[in-house]
Amino acid sequence: MQTISYNNITTYPVYVPESRFCGSSRWRHVGDKLIPRESSPRPYEISGNIYKDYMLTLKFCNYLGLPVSAEALKSSSTNVANYSAYITRYRSIRDAFDKQQPTKKRVYKLNKAKVRKRIIALCRLKQSYKFLAFYSISFPAKAPDDVIYEIFNKWLTTCRTHHGLKTYVWVAERQKNGTLHFHILTNNFLEIYKVNRAMAKCINTSVLQGKLSWGQSSLTLYNGVDVDSIQHTKRRQGESRAQYRWRLKEQKKHTIKERVKFATRYMTKYMSKSDEVFTHLPFHCSRDISQLFTSLLLSDKDFEIYKQYLSDNPNDYIVYKAEERTTFVFKTAPPDIIFSVLDKLNNMLYDMYHNKDPN
């Protein structure tokens, strides 16, 4: 079996025929159907007969006006005393469950392969042809991580509620001075003045609460949200006005491959510290992106159809060999036709999510 993802090709010794697509957090592909994934219930309560007997005892005590106490029930008549065991049994298990040793504070490392797949999936959407940009968000130097994440979440909520942010992938990065900042890839146009002002207000609220200080900045001076778009790229140093206008005109004619190159260039630049450990999530994406598929599962026979579009030059791949699989990482993006089936499916799912007509 072979897996073709946005990042690589991986070979496995066996083939699982029931699925053709994978990588979606919302959908499972079984046969020719898409089946919603079921969320796993969290163990807030004990299930089974022990819990049912306990609830029956509560109803019994409430009906007769008796206290919910095993000792009180034992001293009552024989029939009532039988229910005391239900309370004792339930509470002993409940106490053991509640008194479990707390786990260590969770830490996270950035999964570059997963981030890259999500970024490429966003870039390949039809909607991203209209607009695609990276927004970088900075904070006052030496601001604590907990406060930064609190501010960033408030700002995201404001952008989703008031400024049209719906589709995005964000990544955290630690600057040389130790302060976190964020990079967001989105195909939603955000007015830079408005989102800058929104972030300044979020930061100022935390300053007024005594959680951090502005340092060299202030509510009126803050300009820490920056943007670079493939459709409206920044002017680079050394360019004449004519060169800039020509480049801007050419950028507006961009292809899928150029969108991916634009986004992954930022990713490579900002995610160089592979061993960085975070106490909060270092990466997240909107639900319309997490639901997209990022890989094709192919039998050896089906793989032959795709093989003709792939390079035969071993220098075009970085090869990793494990005991049961071999992975060929793309050095350059393969032809778009490789992902045409994924693109069609993902665009359909994206339109469905936003209640658009797929046609």
Q: Mean of the per-residue pLDDT values for the chain?
A: 84
Total residue count of the chain as it appears in this document:
359
Contact 125, 263 (CB under 8 A): no
Residue 275 pLDDT grade (very low, low, confident, very high; cuts 50, 70, 90)? confident
Task: State residue 80's pLDDT score.
Answer: 64
> Using alpha carbons only, how large is the chain's radius of gyration in Å?
27
Task: State residue 343's pLDDT score.
Answer: 95
Written as one letter, the residue type at 112 is K
Helices (H), the chain: 49-64, 70-74, 78-81, 84-98, 112-123, 127-130, 145-162, 192-208, 241-251, 256-270, 287-290, 300-307, 340-353
pLDDT tens for residues 287-326? Answer: 999 999 999 988 888 889 999 999 989 899 999 988 778 9
Written as one letter, the residue type at 9 is I
Least confident of 64-73, 230-239, 275-284, 344-353: 230-239
Percent with pLDDT over 70 in the chain: 83
Buried b (16+ CB within 10 A) or exposed e, 67-95: eeebeebeeeeeebeebbebbeebeeeee
Task: State residue 239's pLDDT score.
Answer: 67
> Residue 144: which of 209, 239, 100, 72 has the closest Cα?
209
Contact 137, 182 (CB under 8 A): yes
Say whether pLDDT at 26 is over 70: yes
Say whether pLDDT at 14 is over 80: no
Say whether pLDDT at 103 is over 70: no
Contacts for 98 with CB less than 8 Å, ≥ 6 apart: none
Most confident of 16-30, 89-103, 235-249, 278-292: 278-292
How close are the terminal C-alpha atoms of the chain, in Å?
A: 33
pLDDT tens for residues 182-200? Answer: 999 999 999 999 999 999 9
Contacts for 145 with CB less than 8 Å, ≥ 6 apart: 180, 278, 279, 280
Position of tokens 């029931």?
18
Task: State residue 265's pLDDT score.
Answer: 80
> Residue 252: which of 121, 119, 132 has the closest Cα?
132
Say whether pLDDT at 41 is over 60: no
Mean pLDDT, to the nearest integer, of 332-356? 92
d(CA 331, CA 316): 5
Task: State residue 138's pLDDT score.
Answer: 95
Task: State residue 221's pLDDT score.
Answer: 94
Mean pLDDT, to the nearest integer, of 110-133? 92
In this structure, what DSSP letter does residue 57 have?
Answer: H
Mean pLDDT, to the nearest integer, of 154-169? 96
d(CA 191, CA 181): 20
Number of neighbouring beta carbons within 10 Å of residue 352: 14
d(CA 27, CA 35): 6
> E strands within 299-343?
317-321, 326-330
Say whether pLDDT at 236 is over 60: no
Say whether pLDDT at 249 is over 70: no
| pTM assigned to the model | 0.78
Percent with pLDDT over 90 in the chain: 44
Of 97 and 210, the one with more pLDDT: 210
3 state DSSP class of 109 = strand
Written as one letter, the residue type at 157 is T
Of 260 and 52, the one with more pLDDT: 260
Say whether pLDDT at 17 is over 60: no
Least confident of 29-33, 154-158, 330-334: 29-33
d(CA 160, CA 234): 25
d(CA 190, CA 195): 7
